[in-house]
A and B are shown apart, each in its own frame.
Chain A
Amino acid sequence: MPSHAETSPTDAPPPRLELRGITKRFPGCLANDHVDLVLQPGEIHALLGENGAGKSTLVKMIYGVLHPDSGSMLWQGVETVVPDPAGARRLGIGMVFQHFSLFDTLTVTENIALGLDGAGPMDQLADRIRTVSERYGLALDPGRHVFHLSVGERQRVEIVRCLLQDPKLLIMDEPTSVLTPQEAAKLFETLRVLAAEGCTILYISHKLEEIRALCSRATVLRAGKVVGAADPRQETARSLAEMMMGAELSIPERPPQGAAGAARLSVRHLSTTSDNPFATNLKDVSFEVRAGEILGIAGVAGNGQAELMAALSGEALLADAGSVVIEGVSAGQMGPRARRGLGLAFVPEERLGRGAVPELSLSENALLSGYAREPLVRGGMVHFARARAYAETIIRGFNVVAHGHRAEARSLSGGNLQKFIIGREILQKPKLLVVGQPTWGVDAGAAAAIHKALIDLARSGAAVLVISQDLDELFVLSDRISVLFHGRLSDSRPTHETTVERIGLLMGGLFGTPPDEDGEITRAV
């Protein structure tokens, strides 16, 4: 196999990878339909498509996790079958997964050893990790446990793991969705160096501006078929999105905010402690969300977002009842149901398992949070006809693509399920809506619809709190933005007075506010 890698630079070298008529069928869906793809040495090639367009299936076949039903794959001009991921790595194919394939309780070195065949002794490997991470500017401490690492560092572990195998093709699935803009810029430098060294990079992302900055060619998938190719540098983000959707994109406008109303949610000096070693404790967090406005909380995952969500939703009860005040009522000791009674609705970050029960139908899922506000239960008995009607209203009102109200929640694509969950909460006319990562992994069309729904809700007089890592999203949605870093919250700034760069710096920990060493200054109030 390595002998095939010898390509002479004079006569036209074969493409690094060529896919011919790749087809993959799953029960009930044709995931890839005669897909052709050509990747040249040293190019950064974008793979575009909406959720469910078949991108993940395609790259999983390249990496040997799945196998095509028909079609052929030529690796450097030679027809090849990739039996499994180890086989792919032997060929020189590396992959950085969207959901990291890391092991929390193992060290960086151990994690990397798991993805390397013939890794050799651990201390030698640690030295190699240091060498490679210095060479590409990816700072890493080989001896640390993964659960201590930030999301950006975790991604570096994955990238270094690939780089140690001298890959000829590096597949990156949504690599920047969890990074700060500065971290993303750093990653791009690394990728450009790699490409200049001859490594081919297949890049999957929903962030079209990024693709325009980084990639020289793009292949667009829609419903499992290749529907176009483009030079992203010659396109606009809008034209790329429309190629993916096959329809026109309507980007929601945020009408100017009216006079801010009364505070619907006040968080005062909220601090948490947790037994969970993986948790980030909140430290003296204070903010307000007023009727009619959207407050955005930015920050890289793992800086206290999960803890803040739990403290607001009522999943975690607080020592001080007054630290969370909803509609003037001290709610810190109330459970989720009591808080819903005050007018709070929330959409957690995890759609499956928290926002919806995967195995239940949509009408049953609609019932779960809707039963109190909508009269779906009578005398302890479920009124199924009404639950069905309610689910159908959500499906129609929010353009959820699903096989009716009987469809299981897990059968929906991420974007459609998210539209359903957000619709379920919005139709209950909440006074206060808390949303975590509303468009994580959701394609441009669905994201625009979700954004519009949130803006409409705020303009109708509700208070909306959006916790997200996606800065572009926060700049579209928010009237004010704060940043969560290491469990502390920065002061909020009006969105039109700040920039992505400044928020990005805050996300990296450079709070512009006077440094409060142990929270003494703010605590002294």
Chain B
Amino acid sequence: MNDLALIGPILAAMFAAATPLLFAALGELVVEKSGVLNLGVEGMMLVGAVCGFAVAVQTGSATTGFLVAALAGAATASLFAVLTLFLLANQVATGLALTLFGVGLSALIGQGFVGIPLEGLPKLYIPGLTDLPVVGQALFGQDVMVYLSVAAVPLVHLFLYRTRAGLVLRAVGENHTAAHALGYKVLRIRFLAVLFGGAMAGLGGAFLSMDYTPMWAENMTSGRGWIALALVVFATWKPARAMLGAWLFGGVTILQLHVQGLGIDVPSQLLSMLPYLATVLVLVLISRDVARIRLNAPACLGKLFHPDA
């Protein structure tokens, strides 16, 4: 059947669509586990996207592009970290400002790069496996960044739940006063977490501009940073659930494109809304389980910390 043949490409596209979300959400998850709420994900993704794209165009090296994107994301995040951690600015307001700043800065940097084409990353090809029906393309025909994003899930989980550094990070997010009394450097730990979050957001943005749709356009993340933030809550701060959430969102995004392609008589604007509606719906459902959220939410999320207070 024609329908069955569609499933393979849809699956493959779903994983790709989920990748930028997964990068950004994993980064933000670590940030929030340390007790910091950075609403500037969208801005950091855009700065990462434009910097990665610009460098990749100039140097012709995708690797350099992604590295610079991560650095640019981290640099943007460091701005947030200095303001909120050391100057005690309100995290919500600063995060919102960071997004606005990122939109503007990326548009400025990207002025000369609009309309320039770039070649995406090469796709993996394993004879036999990649040719498998239905799942071959989706599982064995992606590019390296897709695999990296998936590999980051167990890595983040191991870091948070199996290493001492991860334990300290969770402790800081849970009770910063107690962590400080035990002698942990709350601000330093949070600073590093925020930088990591920025780097991951930068990678997610660069995946969009260098690979998913290899070109630069203003505001090309179109709200994915916000979806990533929602995913962290959806995942109740658990990396594996964040991956599921990213796939769900990616899946709905791709599905609505295909539905539009089939020419079904539904306004396209309504279909474009679907992924966002799905996010809202899932968040509402998740929020009903108060117990799960209480057990996993970092108790100090969004609270300012001053060592002498």
Contact = CB atoms under 8 A, between A and B. Distances in A.
Interface of A: 64-65, 84-87, 89, 97, 100-106, 110, 113-115, 119, 275-278
A277 B291 CA distance: 6
B181 interface: yes
B174 A85 contact: no
B61 interface: no
B290 A65 contact: no
Nearest to A122: B162
A89 B184 CA distance: 13
B185 to A, nearest CB: 9
B295 interface: yes
A106 B170 contact: yes
Contacts of A113: 164, 167
A354 B149 CA distance: 45
Contact of A103 (B171, B183, B291, B295): B171
Interface string B157-185: 00000001001101100110111011110
Nearest to B183: A85
Contacts of A275: 290-291
A359 to B, nearest CB: 13
B299 interface: yes
A507 B183 CA distance: 35
Given A106-B167, A106-B174, A101 B181 contact: yes
Contact of B291 (A84, A89, A100, A276): A276
Contacts of B171: 103, 106, 110, 114
Contacts of B170: 103, 105-106
A84 B178 contact: no
B181 A65 contact: yes
Contacts of A102: 175, 178
A276 B295 CA distance: 9
Contacts of B164: 113, 119
Interface of B: 164, 167-168, 170-171, 174-175, 177-179, 181-184, 290-291, 294-296, 299
A278 B294 contact: yes
Nearest to B288: A275
Contacts of A110: 167, 171
A277 B294 contact: yes
Contacts of A106: 167, 170-171, 174
- Binding site secondary structure of chain B: helix
A101 B175 contact: yes
A154 to B, nearest CB: 12
B294 A97 contact: no
A277 B295 CA distance: 8
Given A103-B170, A104-B175, A110-B171, 19 more contacts: A84-B183, A85-B183, A87-B183, A97-B178, A101-B177, A101-B178, A101-B182, A102-B175, A103-B174, A103-B175, A103-B179, A105-B299, A106-B167, A114-B167, A114-B168, A114-B184, A115-B182, A275-B290, A276-B294
Contacts of A65: 181
Contacts of B294: 276-278
A103 B178 contact: yes
Contacts of B177: 101
Contacts of A100: 178
Given A276-B291, A277-B294, A97 B181 contact: yes
A103 B294 CA distance: 13
B177 to A, nearest CB: 8
Contacts of B175: 101-104
Given A114-B168, A114-B171, A105 B183 contact: no
A84 B164 CA distance: 19
B174 A105 contact: yes
A277 B170 CA distance: 19
Nearest to A118: B164
B87 to A, nearest CB: 20
A213 B1 CA distance: 87
Contacts of B181: 65, 85, 97, 101
B291 A114 contact: no
26 contacts: A65-B181, A100-B178, A101-B175, A101-B177, A101-B181, A102-B175, A103-B170, A103-B174, A103-B175, A103-B179, A104-B174, A104-B175, A104-B299, A105-B174, A105-B295, A105-B296, A106-B171, A106-B174, A113-B164, A114-B167, A114-B171, A114-B179, A275-B290, A275-B291, A277-B294, A278-B294
Contacts of B167: 106, 110, 113-114
Contacts of A85: 181-183
A65 B180 CA distance: 8
A89 B294 CA distance: 32
Nearest to A147: B295
A278 B293 CA distance: 12
A85 B184 CA distance: 9
A130 B62 CA distance: 53
A100 B178 CA distance: 8
Contacts of A87: 183
Q: Max chain B CB contacts within 10 Å: which of A103, A106, A119, A275? A: A103
Nearest to A63: B181
A115 B291 CA distance: 28
Contacts of A103: 170-171, 174-175, 178-179
